[in-house]
Amino acid sequence: MELYFMGTNAGVPSLERNVTSLALRLFDERRTFWLFDCGEATQHQILRSPLKLSKLEYIFITHLHGDHLFGLPGLISSRAYQGGNTPLTLFGPPGLKKFIMTALEISESRISYSLEVVEHEGGFLFEDESFCVESALLDHRIDSFGYRITEKDQPGKLDIEMLARHGIKPGPMYGKLKRGESINLPDGSLLHSTDVLGNSKPGRIVTILGDTRPCEAAVQLAQDADVLVHESTFLHELAETAYTYHHSTARQAAEAAKRAGARQLFLTHFSSRYKYNDQLQQLEREAREVFPQSDLAREHVMYPILRHG
Binding residues for Zn(2+): 63, 65, 67-68, 140, 211, 269
In whole angstroms, how far apart are CA 291 and each of 218, 228, 248, 254, 255?
16, 12, 15, 5, 7
CA distance 230 to 64: 17
Contacts (Cβ under 8 Å, ≥6 apart) of 285? none
DSSP state of 5: E
Query: Which of 67, 139, 195, 226 is an active site residue?
Result: 67
Under 8 Å between Cβ of 73 and 104: yes
**Phi and psi dihedrals of 70, rounded to 5?**
-65, -15
Residues contributing to the annotated binding site: 63, 65, 67-68, 140, 211, 269
Under 8 Å between Cβ of 134 and 220: no
Burial of 266 (0-12, 13-18, 19+ CB in 10 A): buried
The angle at the Cα of 146, spanning 74 to 37, to the nearest 5 degrees, equals: 10
Q: Is 67 among the residues known to form the active site? A: yes
The CB-based long-range contact list for 110-113 (8 Å cut-off, 24+ gap) reads 111/76, 111/77, 111/80, 112/80, 112/85, 113/79, 113/80, 113/84, 113/85, 113/86, 113/87, 113/88
- Which residues, in sequence order, are bridge partners of residue 265? 228, 294
Contacts (Cβ under 8 Å, ≥6 apart) of 181? 193
Tell me the catalytic residues: 67
